[in-house]
Structure 1
């Protein structure tokens, strides 16, 4: 009712603009009496879900906000087939992946840029502009010179693809969907629409002819997704009281509790003869205090930039007694301190008893038409003109006291807690690093296979894996797909100094070596003796030698010193003396390695890895080629000269994969047959050669070279199915 009455009065006094002001004032009175209507303006949404419905309104964004957007164009899912394996009796494995291209409309006004992007709540695009999955993203900011997106223009018929000028859109091309269940994920975007966001800019955008320069309140961001201009003003005014008046034909909006001008003072009240001078206003004014409202406190719901624009909640300081809590939804991005200040100010306005004055004056100051806040000579404080009424003996004004709120809507100290939020890590995607090698057979699985191990890693935690390819020996054209690398980064690095020689028979408590790991977040751990011996803990490949370390000491900056070493593990004691200068590769042998089990020795001479955002493939030459099938060299060689001049040689056989040396159990052969090659002299130029099928041989004196052979040595090698072992040297007695 008040809305209708004050609209009519405002139209008579101020024309159409006056009618708008009257409607606004009347709406506030109606809300206080009969309750507010459902506002269809900007709203704070708990879950901002991406949509693709026809007719959806595109929002206006100011400052920095997070929004879901609307899918306006999309292709069908594109299937990609990749074949890995095959050849030499190995099965071919076909894998299928899917990509899609689509466009998302974000704002119905131009923006500056796009920051982060979330997909199903996880970070899809970092603050540096890097996509965390395969694909390409292009941003069209919506300015007047915007051209059609080339992909959309190519996909649509000529003349059917608009440039979408005035609309900011994001276009994804060939976005990989493996991480999203092969569907378009629910996206939300960090929109950087402007360098800053003020309430004045928001209001002047929707009311271009209004003067909003007196409003100095700033937000981090604000969005208008529905409703008329009046609904937006109502949504803002719920947290920031606004006053409106007409100044020389221009609608003026300003703070209702912080006037930026010198307040006019009303003339002295004028008495009236109404009711024989016994009416409450017979003296020209009367003051009353309204009962305490049912609202005891107020709270603000808002978007918190510190929590990736998730909804926040701050409660103000209201009355201590029981009462209602009024929650104000402010669809703005603000920090927790500002939200708390707004909540405190709202609680002061709405939870305390209001003082009112009915004031009659016979003089009309023209300044009152442009100043809804005034001072009166009969009371202290600031008073707001709620409404006025022309009467026969003057103008009757209804005044409401304005609480002393100056400074209370601006945060001055970080005293509030925005709440805990586990933000997804925004880690840069760093280049791929590779090491590839064969290892001696560990005794598990098929001993006739030659598994290839790839240590794929990177210097940063944002690395998402890599696709592996093998390059055939002999310069054969093309690459062979080996599938993906393990998603977890392998712990790799390089030696800073050379590892000195030691004995494989005892713990090496003397030597140590410093390692520079590839990433500063890699860590090595200590291990006790039972773990080293029983569980093969802390195995590492340094050059060609496998070691185990019992102690790892951090030196800072990704540098570690390993000591308490077991040397020459896995039959690599021959490599103890091969360490040269610094810079040898270091690889921690754990479950983070990628095992490619169906390769054959010598099939590849180089492994390539291509990760996301790699400009050039990472390449690694395969180390230790053939070590998986190479027999271990025998040990404990002895030579004995018999009475007839013959020489008896004996040695102890070792076997691939048999590392435990169990008592009362014969060492398994793990070869097709036991066969030995014995030479006197050197492998390249032997003085004599013999063959044996057991780990002992007697050489007649007649087969030995004549005296004077000097320091000739017997070399004993086991013959395996694919290669010979390294030789055991037995000096000629």
Structure 2
């Protein structure tokens, strides 16, 4: 820097006086060297997307900042093939794509990377948790001991791969691109370069390798220094902040405006050397108010808005009609930005008054940026210019506003910050339900529900095994998160004909984002508030929240869709799943699976180990519900007449004066009669009745009551369990 060089030369030539003269000359040259003309300094931008331009300027980060970075290395897209189906199902081939690439973040070392956004959506949370399937991620901090990245070295060769020491960069390995249109998304990173906030003086000292001195200055939450020079790197800050830099015997430094002002005696005004040209002792100039701003607005990066651009304004009740704006390309809070713009506007109005003083040469130690008092004038004044000619010193100073350290309260507004919710582990539920629609299904279908114990859970990859885990096939991704929980209290048994107003059950849901609400529609809709509790399907009219994630369900309709058999088998801790078609993934299975175990595994980004669950699949949607109103009557001829009422897989809506549809190829039943110590009697029939003849009854043998089971034989499978009751002959 010219100032520093000339100051040093002046000291060598003429001691302290020579140093002061050198500083004055250096100040003039420095202004020419660091003229704003053609500069490329930082400016406020709304988080521009990452680039990959050759020779692009890389920022030097301070504090914590959100940056886009620059792609410095990338592979071609990698294609992967996935085949689904088999074992009686048509095969389908799908393709997925991934890419590996490196993004430069800072031209100086950093401490950590916290949140990461991809196409504006949160990809990684502050806790380091990933919101979607990513692949591998590595961060190189940029220290001088930094080793080469193994992936880049494997692709380019170890001898052709630089370690990029002094450059902080991130490497994504096989990042899955399906969520981003099979392209590398636009990424931005929350990077922590220094521990906590950083002062302007610290930034200037580091950028200048210690050549710019001074202490303090405004404290910033983060700053990305860029530009083609030191001036370019800090001019955006110096322009927006109420500070000034000054030249002195030791070089450029941040002016300290808080110390005691240098005193100038009125008797010294106009005192010159004998050969000096006379000038005005003191001249006061006051700028017209019409040329000043009545209001001033500052733009800045607001950490409370995920580092999006915030805005704060200051206004003075004056006659001016102008409004100005400034950009502060740094991270500050809303309150700090408010204080800065207030101080900046106050500085502009105080600085409308300037003073020019003629002083003797012995005041050459008054530097540009020094704080002085002006004889006969109130307040503190900052020296903005000084000239030394013919042993006469002319100093120009501007009035400073009254100092204030108050941080004004302010709000950055309510932005669209994305919730940073941890994904957490996956919870699975496998549902083998009766038919839920109007048209009965014709193939076995397993319903898969998934959710997370944390509210941030979104999806997981599923695999299925039909051979007890010996082999697995991919099913793709889960449906949207289901409402899953477990019973916190025991639900007592009840009837299924009327609403159960005597019993209630408390349900503890998986996470705080899940909710349950009552519904008046359960009396007219067979699907409103339908839920699986244990193995019983229920509907609930009321849902009262009685604690965090805890809901009390009442006004129950029990044993829905033929699940009366499960009403007496409840237990604390049993599963609860809200039956919502949008949150259930259906998967068709072969008929050969009926009666065998099916295993499903789920792996999400929050799972350290895959979640796995098994079910003995009975294809209940293919089975007619068990008959109802079964009874037996002893006839005078010694026979036993058995009768029942048929139900249907397609008959869940109220129908007036009409039998429910059969929904099967033919009407068939299997009646099974058992007796203690006797043999089993099986009767096949095509109508809702059967008769045990006296000879058949005698052939059963044994003693005690008869146990009678009635199952309707459907097109594919029979009722499970069958309708069961006991009958005592002769009673």
CA distance in 2, matches of 1:436, 1:64: 45
Q: Which residue of 2 aligns with 1:379?
A: 377
Range moving further from structure 2, 161-170 or 584-593: 584-593
CA distance change for structure 1 residues 41 and 531 in 2, over 3 Å: closer, same or farther? same
Match of 2:558, SS state, is: strand
Aligned-pair CA distance for 1:84: 2.1
CA distance in 1, matches of 2:48, 2:614: 50
Q: Which residue of 2 aligns with 1:401?
A: 398
Alignment of 1:601-612 (within 5 A): 601-602=594-595, 604-612=597-605
Q: Which residue of 2 aligns with 1:463?
A: 457
Match of 1:614, SS state, is: coil
Q: Which residue of 1 aligns with 2:545?
A: 554
Aligned-pair CA distance for 1:143: 0.3
Contact 2:289 2:320 in 1 (8 A): no
Residue from 471, 474, 477 that aligns with 1:478: 471
Q: Which residue of 1 aligns with 2:28?
A: 22
The answer to whether structure 1 residue 187 and structure 2 residue 180 are counterparts is: no
Q: Which residue of 1 aligns with 2:51?
A: 51
Q: Which residue of 1 aligns with 2:435?
A: 441
CA distance in 1, matches of 2:696, 2:388: 139
The answer to whether structure 1 residue 729 and structure 2 residue 722 are counterparts is: no
The answer to whether structure 1 residue 499 and structure 2 residue 500 are counterparts is: no
CA distance in 2, matches of 1:687, 1:230: 99
Aligned-pair CA distance for 1:356: 3.1
Q: Which residue of 2 aligns with 1:577?
A: 568
What's the CA shift string for 1:177-231, capped at 9, x where partnerless?
1111111111111110001311111111232343523343211111212131123
CA distance in 2, matches of 1:714, 1:369: 109
Q: Which residue of 2 aligns with 1:646?
A: 639
Contact 1:358 1:396 in 2 (8 A): no
Range moving further from structure 2, 373-382 or 430-439: 373-382
What's the CA shift string for 1:560-593, capped at 9, x where partnerless?
11111111111111221222x3121111111212
Residue from 242, 247, 265 that aligns with 1:245: 247
CA distance change for structure 1 residues 602 and 446 in 2, over 3 Å: closer, same or farther? same
CA distance in 2, matches of 1:343, 1:727: 80
The answer to whether structure 1 residue 692 and structure 2 residue 685 are counterparts is: yes
Match of 1:301, SS state, is: strand
CA distance change for structure 1 residues 215 and 16 in 2, over 3 Å: closer, same or farther? farther
Aligned-pair CA distance for 1:607: 1.6
Range moving further from structure 2, 106-115 or 332-341: 332-341
Alignment of 1:242-321 (within 5 A): 242-247=244-249, 250-255=250-255, 258-260=257-259, 263-266=262-265, 268-269=267-268, 284-292=281-289, 294-296=291-293, 297-318=295-316, 320-321=318-319
CA distance in 2, matches of 1:205, 1:623: 68
Aligned-pair CA distance for 1:53: 0.8
CA distance in 1, matches of 2:59, 2:608: 38
The answer to whether structure 1 residue 588 and structure 2 residue 581 are counterparts is: no
Match of 1:345, SS state, is: helix
Q: Which residue of 2 aligns with 1:453?
A: 447
Q: Which runs of 5+ in 1 are unaligned?
A: none
Q: Which residue of 2 aligns with 1:334?
A: 332
Aligned-pair CA distance for 1:370: 7.8
The answer to whether structure 1 residue 567 and structure 2 residue 564 are counterparts is: no
Q: Which residue of 1 aligns with 2:13?
A: none
Aligned-pair CA distance for 1:445: 4.1
Aligned-pair CA distance for 1:98: 1.2
CA distance change for structure 1 residues 682 and 647 in 2, over 3 Å: closer, same or farther? closer
Match of 2:184, SS state, is: coil
Alignment of 1:662-701 (within 5 A): 662-682=655-675, 686-701=679-694
Q: Which residue of 1 aligns with 2:205?
A: 204
Aligned residues: 706
Match of 1:380, SS state, is: coil
What's the CA shift string for 1:510-558, capped at 9, x where partnerless?
1111211111321111112x43432521111111111111111111121
Aligned-pair CA distance for 1:398: 3.6
CA distance change for structure 1 residues 490 and 243 in 2, over 3 Å: closer, same or farther? closer
CA distance change for structure 1 residues 672 and 398 in 2, over 3 Å: closer, same or farther? same
Contact 2:47 2:68 in 1 (8 A): no
Contact 1:532 1:538 in 2 (8 A): no
Q: Which residue of 2 aligns with 1:659?
A: 652
CA distance change for structure 1 residues 561 and 682 in 2, over 3 Å: closer, same or farther? farther
The answer to whether structure 1 residue 515 and structure 2 residue 507 are counterparts is: yes
Contact 1:337 1:411 in 2 (8 A): no
Aligned-pair CA distance for 1:402: 2.1
Match of 1:365, SS state, is: helix
Residue from 412, 417, 436 that aligns with 2:407: 412
Match of 1:152, SS state, is: helix
Q: Which residue of 1 aligns with 2:172?
A: 172
Aligned-pair CA distance for 1:390: 4.4
Contact 1:336 1:418 in 2 (8 A): yes
TM-score between both structures, scaled by the size of structure 2? 0.89
Q: Which residue of 1 aligns with 2:112?
A: 113
What's the CA shift string for 1:374-418, capped at 9, x where partnerless?
2243433333334444466x62424323223422xx44242x221
CA distance in 1, matches of 2:32, 2:437: 88
Aligned-pair CA distance for 1:346: 2.1
Aligned-pair CA distance for 1:321: 2.9
What's the CA shift string for 1:614-642, capped at 9, x where partnerless?
12111122266232222322222333344
Alignment of 1:51-200 (within 5 A): 51-88=51-88, 90-134=89-133, 135-195=135-195, 196-200=197-201
Match of 2:267, SS state, is: coil
Contact 1:10 1:21 in 2 (8 A): no
Quote the RMSD (CA, aligned, Å).
3.1
Q: Which residue of 2 aligns with 1:543?
A: 534
What's the CA shift string for 1:316-351, capped at 9, x where partnerless?
234533433232222111112222222222222324
Match of 2:621, SS state, is: coil
Contact 2:24 2:388 in 1 (8 A): no
Contact 1:435 1:621 in 2 (8 A): no
Match of 1:534, SS state, is: coil
CA distance in 2, matches of 1:370, 1:264: 15
Range moving further from structure 2, 674-683 or 299-308: 674-683
Q: Which runs of 5+ in 2 are unaligned?
A: 11-17
Aligned-pair CA distance for 1:443: 4.8
CA distance in 1, matches of 2:179, 2:420: 17
CA distance change for structure 1 residues 621 and 682 in 2, over 3 Å: closer, same or farther? farther
The answer to whether structure 1 residue 426 and structure 2 residue 420 are counterparts is: yes
What's the CA shift string for 1:34-54, capped at 9, x where partnerless?
xx6454212222342211011
Contact 1:437 1:624 in 2 (8 A): no
Contact 1:640 1:648 in 2 (8 A): yes
Contact 1:605 1:622 in 2 (8 A): yes
